[in-house]
């Protein structure tokens, strides 16, 4: 189910996969967007200062919850460099790091 979800055309709208079911990703309201922007700035500055990882908005993460595929598109996602393979090219899903 996860791979089928990831292969959906982007023109089909914005969705997340929750408990194995498609769920529309809602467009945030203005206050939410401002909070997301401020949080990204703070976390990005922290990441650059300490060189410990990377934070990105709307980065798809493929996981499992209760043995069901779960593919959220979080407002912000942090990935620690300690979890990233040395040969990572900066592309791809965070699921590729879960066994590292």
Domains of the chain: 2-88 (3.90.1570.10)
Whole-number Å distance between alpha carbons of 46 and 29: 26
**Residue 45's pLDDT is what?**
97
**Residue 46's pLDDT is what?**
97
Whole-number Å distance between alpha carbons of 76 and 70: 16
Q: Are 1 and 65 in contact (CB under 8 A)?
A: no
Per-residue pLDDT tens digits for 44-76: 999 999 999 889 888 877 777 777 777 888 889
Residue that is written with structure tokens 């709208």 in the block: 13
Q: Which residue has the higher pLDDT, 72 or 36?
A: 36
* Confidence category of residue 99, pLDDT binned at 50, 70, 90: very low
* Confidence category of residue 39, pLDDT binned at 50, 70, 90: very high
Looking at every residue in the chain, the average pLDDT score rounds to 80
Per-residue pLDDT tens digits for 20-33: 788 888 777 899 89
| Nearest Cα residue to 69 out of 7, 2, 22, 4 | 2
Torsion region of 39: left, alpha or beta (phi above 0 gives left; psi -120 to 50 gives alpha): alpha
pTM above 0.95, yes or no: no
């Amino acid at each position: 189910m996860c791979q089928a979800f990831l292969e959906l055309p982007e023109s089909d709208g914005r969705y997340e996969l929750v408990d194995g079911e498609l769920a529309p990703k809602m467009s945030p309201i203005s206050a939410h967007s401002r909070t997301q922007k401020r949080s990204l700035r703070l976390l990005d500055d922290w990441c650059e200062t300490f060189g410990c990882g990377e934070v990105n908005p709307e980065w798809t993460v493929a996981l499992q919850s209760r043995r069901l595929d779960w593919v959220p598109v979080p407002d912000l996602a942090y990935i620690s460099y300690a979890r990233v393979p040395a040969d990572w090219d900066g592309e791809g899903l965070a699921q590729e790091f879960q066994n590292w």
